[in-house]
Amino acid sequence: MQKPNMAVTGDETDEETDLAPSHMAAATGDMPTYQIRAPTTALPQGVVMAASPGSLHSPQQLAEEATRKRELRLMKNREAARECRRKKKEYVKCLENRVAVLENQNKTLIEELKALKDLYCHKAE
C-alpha cells in the first residue's frame, strides 16, 4: 500500500497539526496529496513565544559574559604557567644532579688514569 505524498508548508510547529487535502493533483495521479497546516488557534493573549537563548542577551550581558570568559581564560593560563615553571625547576634540578654525578665520575676516572700511568711508568724503569 502506498503512503500519500506530503507537502510541507513551512508553517509547522511542535504543536498539534492538521492534515488537509491539497487542491493540487498527486504526482502519481491516483493518491491525494496532503498539506501539513498549523492549527488555526492563536496563542492566548499575554503568552509570548521564547526566542533562542542567544538572542535574549543585552549588550551589557554580552560584555559581562566576555569579561567572565576572559578572566576564566587568564586564570587557567596563570595556573598552566605556574605548573610549567614548577616542571622546569624540577627538570633543571635533575640536570644539576646529573652534572654533579658526572663530575664526580669524571674526577674518579681521572684519578684512576693517573694511578695507572704512575704504575705503568714505575714498572718500565
Note the pLDDT tens digit of each residue in 6-24. Answer: 444 554 444 444 555 555 4
What whole-number distance in Å separates Cα of residue 64 and Cα of residue 57?
10
What whole-number distance in Å separates Cα of residue 25 and Cα of residue 7?
12
Contact 20, 34 (CB under 8 A): yes
Please give the single-letter amino acid code of residue 125. E
Please give the single-letter amino acid code of residue 81. A
What whole-number distance in Å separates Cα of residue 94 and Cα of residue 69?
37
Residue with cell 644539576: 96
Q: In which band, very low, low, confident or very high, does the pLDDT at 45 lie, cut at 50, 70 and 90?
A: low
Least confident span in 13-17, 50-54, 74-78, 95-99: 13-17
What whole-number distance in Å separates Cα of residue 96 and Cα of residue 89?
10
Contact 40, 13 (CB under 8 A): no
What whole-number distance in Å separates Cα of residue 32 and Cα of residue 86?
75
Mean pLDDT across the chain: 76
